[in-house]
Structure 1
Amino acid sequence: MNLTESVLHYKRYLKRRNYSNHTRKNYLNRLQHFLGWLPVTVELAESIHIKQFIDILLDRRLGPQTINGHLIAIRSFYRYLQEEEQREIDNPVISGLSLRLPKPLPRFLQDSEVAAFFGVISKQRDLAIFLLMLRCGLRVEEVANLTIGVIDHRRNQIMVRCGKGAMDRLVYLYDDAAEALAAYLQLRPETEEPRIFLVEKGLYKGKPLSVRGIQKRAEHYSVKSGVHVSCHQLRHTMATDLLNAGADIVTIQYLLGHSKIKTTMRYARLSNQKARMDYYQAMTRIMEVKGSLTSWNMRC
């Protein structure tokens, strides 16, 4: 089997493994960059070639996370060659090649920033989009892919289909988000397109609003409000607000669609208010049992 056929079969392999369209596209695009550069045949590639490829990506000023994404795609392709095509071939992406990633805390928005951002939103469609992120914790891709059929207006809930990692989950619509979504659906033109949010003017009018289209709307309102707001920050804000209000970390993990509790625990590092509340509640119980040291010292 030649290389072109292998890449074609690899594409089908990713689809069988239930990778999302977005992930498959990224894997194949990154693999194409690597194969177009690789100075030897696929069978002869070694870790030294991967290191050289990393240097090229660094020279292009790509970030560590993006470069690691290239390595994941290359490693996956070689694993396919080994397991599916039964080739006796070494995987050149060995452990230790991935770049170390910074671990910044997710930035959430202050109440004043949320108010400023939503105060300049002029379109009912956009109000519904960003409230779904703030109240339901939806990712931008999940909002873009929402369809009419997953909305349960009677129960005020949404079934998020094939979220990150192909995970389905149920999220809940609070009143303001439910009202904003219902108001948009009343204005939305009748169409056979199942996806909810549509382009409202221009050449692509009536077509589904893309992920980049939603991000550009967030950028537009950020400039207009003078507050930098990203789609993911709205999601972070919901998680932090829930934690500060006493919601269980496992509940937040489920609502956000995190596969690992470690990811959700990052919000606990941000939540000073929750830590303060927990501290005083616990210390009050301790004092009730053991009493104050100052009063004990006076008795002595």
Structure 2
Amino acid sequence: MDNAELIVSYRRFLKRRNYSVHTVKNYLNILGQFSRWFTMPIEEVTHKEIGAYTEHLLRKRHRPKTINCHLGTIRAFYDHLHDEEGLQLINPVKKAYRLRLPKPLPKHLKDEQVALLFKEIKDTRDRAMFMLMLRCGLRVEEVARLSIDAIDYPRRQLFVFNGKGSKDRVVYLSEDTGIALAEYLKKRGTPKIKKMFLVQKGPMKDKPISVRGIQKRMEYYAQKSGIEVSCHHLRHTMATQLLNADADLVTIQDLLGHRRITTTQCYCRVSNLKVQRDYYKAMEVVLQRTQPRRENELELGKISIMDNRA
């Protein structure tokens, strides 16, 4: 099989494995770029070509995270060629080829910034969308895909189907989020479209709003409020607020849909308020246990000083 046929075969494999349409599209886009970059058969690529391709991506000013995504996809493709297609080859992409990444802290909003931002959000649809990110921790893609039947008002639950990694999860509706959704749905009416959030004006009116459409609305409110914020910052804010309110890390992991607890632990580095509160709470116990002895030591110290003066 030539390069194109191998990639098509890989696409069929990914679909059989029930990868999401979005993931398959991204993988094929990366492999398409990779195969167009050189003229040799894919099975003849060595670590030298991988190194040269990495340098090519760096020259194009791709971010390290993006380059690592390319390398990971190509590595998985070669594993498939060996394991599923039976090609006798050595995977040219080693794990050690991944670029080192900085570890920036998740950015979140302070309470007063949240208040200023939402003061500017008058539109019922926009308010409902962004409340789902702030209070329920939904990703922008999850908000765009949300359907009307995902809401369970009696139980105050929201079902997030086919989230990141094709995972389903349940999140819970705070009182203000429930009110925001109810106000929007009352105004929305009942168009014959299951998607919850729709375009309100123009030729695409009553069609589902896109991810980019939601992001543009956030950019509008960020400029209007003077606050540097993105949709994902609202999700980070929710996690930090819950942690500061003593929510368990595993609970936050479930609500955010993180696959690994280490991803959720990033918020521990951000939550200085909880660290400060935990320190003083624990230190109060320590002082209560050790204070009598410390007072005695102080008195002995005073006696020692007086004796020296004499």
- Secondary structure at 1:61 match in 2: coil
Q: Displacement, 1:68?
A: 0.9
Q: Which moved more, 1:221-230 or 1:190-199?
A: 190-199
Partners of 1:194 and 1:231 in 2: CA distance? 23
1:250–1:261 contact (8 Å) kept in structure 2: yes
Percent identity over the alignment is 51
Q: TM-score, normalised by structure 1?
A: 0.96
Give the whole-Å Cα distance in 2 for the aligned partners of 1:191 and 1:79: 47
**CA deviation digits over 1:99-121, x for unaligned, max 9?**
11110000110112111211111
Contact 1:28 1:73 in 2 (8 A): no
The 1-side partners of 2:292 and 2:202 are apart by 71
Tell me whether 1:181 sits opposite 2:181 in the alignment: yes
* Gapped regions of structure 2 (runs ≥ 5): 301-310
CA deviations on 1:254-288 (whole Å, 9 max, x unpaired) are: 11111111111111111111011111111222233
| TM superposition shift of 1:3 | 2.8
Question: 4+ residue stretches of structure 1 with deviation over 6 A?
Answer: none
1:206 is matched by which residue type in structure 2?
D
What is the CA distance between 1:174 and its match in structure 2? 0.3
Summarize deviations over 1:147-194 as a string: whole Å, max 9, x none.
112110111111111211222111101011111111111122423322
Count, aligned residues: 300
Q: Secondary structure at 2:158's aligned position in 1? A: strand
1:144-223 matches, within 5 Å, as 144-223=144-223
Work out the CA distance in 1 between the residues paired with 2:5 and 2:184: 46
1:106 equivalent in structure 2: 106
- 1:156 touches 1:172 (CA, 8 Å); kept in 2? yes
Greater Rg, structure 1 or structure 2?
2
Match of 2:274 in 1: 274
Q: Matched residues in 1 for 2:297 and 2:166: separation?
A: 61
- Cα distance in 2 for residues equivalent to 1:164 and 1:209: 19
In structure 1, C-alpha distance between the alignment counterparts of 2:122 and 2:56, rounded to whole Å = 44
Give the aligned partner of residue 247 of structure 1: 247
1:115 equivalenced with 2:76 (yes/no): no
Q: Which runs of 5+ in 1 are unaligned?
A: none
Residue 2 of structure 1: how far off its partner (Å): 3.2
- Per-residue Cα deviation, 1:39-71 (whole angstroms, up to 9, x for no partner): 321111011111111111111111001111111
Determine the C-alpha separation between the residues in 2 that align with 1:292 and 1:112: 42
